[in-house]
Amino acid sequence: MVRVENHLGTIDISEKYFSSLISHTVMSCFGVMGMSDSVKKKGVFLPSKKNVQKHKGVFVKSELGGLLVDIHIIVGYGINIAAIVSSIKTKVLYVIETATQLKVKRINVFVDAMIS
């Protein structure tokens, strides 16, 4: 849970919200085939439109300087990985900062698998 305090009061934003927001953003990027559940080492997760919010491939931590975001993805074979990662970082940064007005300190994108 991320807690933001301002002169009007306290706002709590759940991890589920961030997970859903980021996963929908990442899945809309070209070349991303799915999200990876790298923490539990259970393999890959290929989401559909119905279950994209249930994945475990997004991790958000709050630090003093802003948010730290870790994203674990699966890409398609033959796609330029550097271009995909750059696109994801730019898009996720824009979406988080416009939707929540929170600063993002760092976005880490981990390519855990490549499928054809």
- Residue 16, pLDDT score: 84
- Residue 110, pLDDT score: 94
- Residue 1, pLDDT score: 74
In a domain, 8, yes or no: no
Rounded CA separation 77/66 (Å): 34
- Residue 12, pLDDT score: 86
In a domain, 4, yes or no: no
In a domain, 6, yes or no: no
What pLDDT tens digit does each residue of the chain (116 aa) get? 777 777 888 888 888 888 889 999 999 999 999 888 765 445 555 544 444 444 578 988 888 878 899 999 999 999 999 999 999 999 999 999 998 888 999 999 999 989 98
Count, in order, helices (H) and strands (E) of the chain. Answer: 2, 7
Domain tally for the chain? Answer: 1
- Residue 69, pLDDT score: 92
The CATH number covering residue 92 comes to 3.30.70.1350
**58: domain range?**
16-115
In a domain, 72, yes or no: yes
pTM for this prediction: 0.79
- Residue 43, pLDDT score: 53
Among 65, 71, 78, 80, which residue's Cα sits nearest to residue 109? 71
- Residue 44, pLDDT score: 52
- Residue 54, pLDDT score: 46
